[in-house]
Amino acid sequence: MDLGAPIITIKGIGEKSAAAFNKAGIFTVSDLLHYFPRTYSMVPEIRPISAMTMGGRAVVKGRIMGGCSLFSSKGKTVLSFDVGDGTGKLKVYYFGMPYMKKSFPPGRMLLLLGNVSLKGDVAVMAQPRVLSEEEYENTKGTLIPVYPETAGLKSSAVLKAVKEIICISDNLKDYLPDPVINKEGLVTLSKAFSDIHFPATKDDLYEARKRLAFDELFLFIARIQMLKSNTEKEENSFRIEQRMADETMNGFISKLPYELTGAQLKAVNDIKNDMTGDGVANRLVQGDVGCGKTVVAIAAALMAVSAGYQAAIMAPTEVLAMQHYNEIIELTEKYGLPFRTGVLTGSVGKTDKRRCKELLADGSLNLVIGTHALLEEDVLFNELALVVTDEQHRFGVAQRRTLSKKGGTPHTVVMSATPIPRTLGLILYGDMDVSLIDELPAKRLDRKNAVVDTDYRETFYKFLVKHIREEKVQAYIICPMVEASESEELGMTGDIANVTDYTEYLKDKLPGDIRIAMLHGRMKPAEKNEIMKDFSEHKTDVLVSTTVVEVGVNVPNATIMLVENAERFGLSQLHQLRGRVGRGDKQAYCVFMTGTNGEMSKNTLKRLNILKESNDGFKIAEEDLKQRGPGDFFGLRQSGLPYFKIADIYTDAEMIGRVKSVLQDMTEDGQEGLKALETALRESGSISYSEFHSIYL
């Protein structure tokens, strides 16, 4: 079996299973090998119940005392029984599983694995897993991979499939020469793949992650260098006359009901100089959340359209695309702008979509707003001069080639709200010219931030209800997990807030007139779009969500955010999240609540207080980089960038510089290992991380 073999060729995977793997983006053996665990669980040694004073993940061995009881709580049937081991008693709960009562007769000896919490002096275990003696002996003390799950695909199914193909990693050739591997302190590619899936120790896991992160950064920087070399050779085929560009911009800016900041004006002028110059624009406009990048994008599109060309603006979500569309329609009508605008998203009907494509092809529309679907083959343009895109859809060589086939090579402007430390910017965006918007609009008020523990929760709820009722504002509540089973699976200790249970709890807790909805990444795209649309139209007051709102719709009326278990997020991600509030002219509030009760550590308090004291995303990113070190693998991913499966621009900041140096040395020395990569990049322009390793077989 080779890396390119279809997933269905793996033993135990049939057509139905293969379809579930395909939905998760796993089509080949290589894709499966690159489907890395999101974390690892460990089966601990058996502990006496009396020793469980601190709670946490544990294995308990004891007998069922008395019988099982069934009762109802919040519409769910709860199965409950006690387990004793001679040192104490453990209360066990199963939710929504009344049929399991026959499996737990009085006196049965059980081995239970789960998270223990303390309710007063009573140890409680909810939804524990029942282990056999053999299973316990075979797994205790070992790291068990836990894979990302999607609808129809469980972690256990992925684990079973990976066991069938892991031996293939033994045959992976290494593109790095032995001297480089030894100098950089890296393990071989074969060992990295074996240990990322089945590590014997945490040290083995860290070393595997280090090597795979190195490879991913190597591919990323190689792409950047090639994109830069291609861009430098491209002439401006959509050059705009300087005088006309000046008149267009001066007229547009003078009509706006507010003054642009100096940083916004500089970004607009940078793009204008690109579009009137000799070369194709390839510019990154980087600015903190709420700094006003959208108006810069509209100004750029206006220059292209006023010169008789077409422009496209791509947004990361359908809801945000529609918001941009409506905003531009309003500006067009209000100020008599020359935009003839269409919209292309998944929710647009077939007839309207077909009509929009026809009008783009013949030039009747000069501006289109949409998602990445704008790159599809049947979307043709008459004279596409400019594409403004979000960093999530950052162009590679392949996308440039696709657009070139539609007529010329358009200028590209990438908008980024990720506060990348300045020390990394030149490396990560070495192929692009950068405009930095480091000022907030004049009327924008700084958010008021607070770092609290769970004792403050009741006070917050009163504050929330008061502001929603009196000021008609909206709020986000952010939880780390989707559902309770996720935190149990990850082996997390303590009470970890999850969206599913929190939403139900809040509906019981808050008054009936407060409208509450939930949002998380496991929902279907159409469902997520509908929920965000309702929130943006103020049909919902409180949105309980995971970090899926980190890149989302602009809701100026949302002024309050509570982040539960704030200690489980990186500073930069917390800053991105709070960027969802304070986008209007009302005072905004962000509360970072730790999952402790008066037990906040000095380090946690010091770290979160950086957010309390500063609203500068770039300063926060620098502090985040200083505080976090290599090996922070078991926490939630922090980078906020969509390019990486395993690397992290903050944790791996030092590695980025070394990777660039290694790549440069290998290029100068004409190393054999680079030839296959160079050929693949030149032929396709953009290869995946999985394909990157596959070409070395």
pLDDT attached to residue 482: 79
User: Any idea how long the chain is?
Assistant: 697
Please name which of 419, 481, 454, 461 lies closest in space to residue 560, comparing C-alpha atoms.
Answer: 461
Output b/e per residue, 253-267; b: 16+ Cβ within 10 A: eeeeeeebbebbbbb
d(CA 196, CA 220): 20
Q: What tens digit of pLDDT does each residue of 454-478 get?
A: 888 899 999 999 999 999 999 999 9
pLDDT attached to residue 107: 93
What is the identity of the amino acid at 591?
Answer: V
pLDDT attached to residue 632: 38
Tell me which of 2.40.10.10, 2.40.50.140, 3.60.150.10, 2.30.30.830 is the CATH number of domain 44-140.
Answer: 2.40.50.140
Q: What is the CATH number of domain 448-614?
A: 3.40.50.300
| E strands in 244-393 | 282-287, 310-314, 341-344, 367-370, 384-390
Please name which of 256, 250, 296, 251 lies closest in space to residue 274, comparing C-alpha atoms.
Answer: 296
- φ, ψ (nearest 5 deg) of residue 443: -85, -5
pLDDT attached to residue 231: 55
Q: Residues 6 or more apart from 117 whose CB is under 8 A from it?
A: 55, 123, 124, 125, 126, 494, 495
pLDDT attached to residue 584: 76
Establish whether domains 44-140 and 448-614 are of one fold. Answer: no
Q: Residues 6 or more apart from 132 whose CB is under 8 A from it?
A: 111
Place of tokens 């505080």: 627
Neighbour tally for 233: CB within 10 Å: 8
Query: How do 39-42 and 143-146 pair as beta strands?
Result: antiparallel
Q: Residues 6 or more apart from 19 whose CB is under 8 A from it?
A: 152
The dihedral through the CA atoms of 163, 168, 169, 170 has a sign that is positive
Low-confidence ranges of the chain (pLDDT < 70): 1, 53-56, 74, 120, 227-233, 391-405, 407, 419-431, 442-444, 484-495, 550-553, 596-602, 624-643, 649-650, 672-673, 682-686, 696-697
- φ, ψ (nearest 5 deg) of residue 639: -65, -35
Q: Residues 6 or more apart from 668 whose CB is under 8 A from it?
A: none
pLDDT attached to residue 486: 47
Instruction: Delimit the domains of the chain by residue range.
Output: 44-140, 238-437, 448-614
Please answer whether residues 344 and 350 qualify as being in contact, where contact means their C-beta atoms are separated by less than 8 angstroms. no
pLDDT attached to residue 633: 35
How far, CA to CA in Å, does 45 sit from each of 84, 85, 87, 361?
A: 17, 15, 16, 67
- φ, ψ (nearest 5 deg) of residue 3: -65, -25
pLDDT attached to residue 493: 39
d(CA 460, CA 482): 22
d(CA 509, CA 496): 18
Residue 44 is given by DSSP the state P
Q: What tens digit of pLDDT does each residue of 40-79 get?
A: 877 888 989 888 765 567 899 999 998 899 988 767 788 9
Place of tokens 């949002």: 519
Residue 85 is given by DSSP the state -
What is the identity of the amino acid at 38?
Answer: R
Place of tokens 């609540």: 593
For the chain, what is the total number of helices (H) and then of strands (E)?
24, 21
Query: How do 411-416 and 282-287 pair as beta strands?
Result: parallel
Tell me the chain's radius of gyration from C-alpha atoms: 27
DSSP string for residues in 413-465: EEEE-----HHHHHHHTTTSEEEEE----TTPPPPEEEEE-GGGHHHHHHHHH
d(CA 615, CA 447): 7
pLDDT attached to residue 596: 59
d(CA 290, CA 442): 11
pLDDT attached to residue 184: 93
Q: CA 384 from chain center: how many Å?
A: 30
Q: Which fold has domain 238-437?
A: Rossmann fold (3.40.50)
Q: What tens digit of pLDDT does each residue of 613-660 get?
A: 777 777 777 776 666 543 333 333 333 444 577 887 667 777 888 888
pLDDT attached to residue 404: 60
Q: What tens digit of pLDDT does each residue of 377-421 get?
A: 889 999 999 999 876 555 555 565 666 667 678 898 888 877 666
DSSP string for residues in 544-558: EE-GGGGS----TTE
Q: CA 149 from chain center: how many Å?
A: 15
Q: Residues 6 or more apart from 662 whose CB is under 8 A from it?
A: 176, 180, 184, 218
Please answer whether residues 123 and 52 qualify as being in contact, where contact means their C-beta atoms are separated by less than 8 angstroms. yes
pLDDT attached to residue 553: 67
pLDDT attached to residue 342: 95
pLDDT attached to residue 516: 95
Please answer whether residues 445 and 587 qualify as being in contact, where contact means their C-beta atoms are separated by less than 8 angstroms. yes
How far, CA to CA in Å, does 607 sit from each of 48, 54, 480, 543, 563?
A: 36, 24, 18, 26, 15
**If residue 53 lies in a helix (H) or strand (E), which one and from where to where?**
none
